[in-house]
Amino acid sequence: MPAEQDQSTPQQEQGHPRWENIWAAGLKKGDAFDTGRVSPALQQLLDAQALPKGRALVPGCGRGYDAIAFGAAGYDATGLDLSKTGIQAATALLAETEPKPAGPVQFVVGNFFEFGGDGSGGRFDVILDYTFLCALDPSIRQQWAQRMAALLAPGGELVTLIFPIGKPLSEGGPPFGVTLDLLTELLTPVGLEAVEELKMLPDELCHPTREKRTGLGRWRLKA
């Protein structure tokens, strides 16, 4: 049973009822922010076995496509989301997925800024951020970076699929605009170093409508 959320925590300030209301209204696969499938860029990394093995975390997991993909690649995967209805949808998708993932997959209702805070959650070898940072108010981006570093195991990797690049912050959100340089500014001070040069993704590795607005950054927590 998930713990009751603390109303003072940063992510609660981003409008927990907003996300729950969207899911409760009957969000269908492929609608709004539901992409309908695993992120192509993540699938390419998994197919190439380019990421550290072990435990994987997907905060803001939604219907769970990416968490299930981690499980299919043999990871011990956790999908985390504020929305109870969203997690129910992810659990239902997992139940109907065939063949079953090779690794265990669990879905948890919880707040990213509190998750694992008591040490019981352990640390993760890989964390994926895709449209999670951009859903948070820009005022708490430094807290996002600090929490990512706290949840990663030494030598663990944070994969950031950076979206929406090119959208001015003045247009508001979510999603709030981001840049490639922003990730360097946020993550370097908390002990993460780039595994490779940040880059824009080719169209075939982007979800439809997100072409030319999505980048890739891979970051390793210094051991």
Residues 60, 80 contacting (CB under 8 angstroms) = yes
pLDDT at 117: 54
pLDDT at 193: 97
pLDDT at 53: 97
pLDDT at 2: 31
Query: What residues in the chain have per-residue pLDDT under 50?
Result: 1-13
pLDDT at 75: 98
Gap between the Cα atoms of 35 and 42, Å rounded: 13
pLDDT at 4: 32
Predicted structure pTM score: 0.89
pLDDT at 119: 54
Full set of structural domains in the chain with CATH: 38-60+114-221 (3.40.50.150)
pLDDT at 18: 78
Mind giving me the DSSP string for 41-101?
HHHHHHHTT-S--SEEEEET-TT-HHHHHHHHTT-EEEEEES-HHHHHHHHHHHHH-SSPP
pLDDT at 84: 92
pLDDT at 6: 35
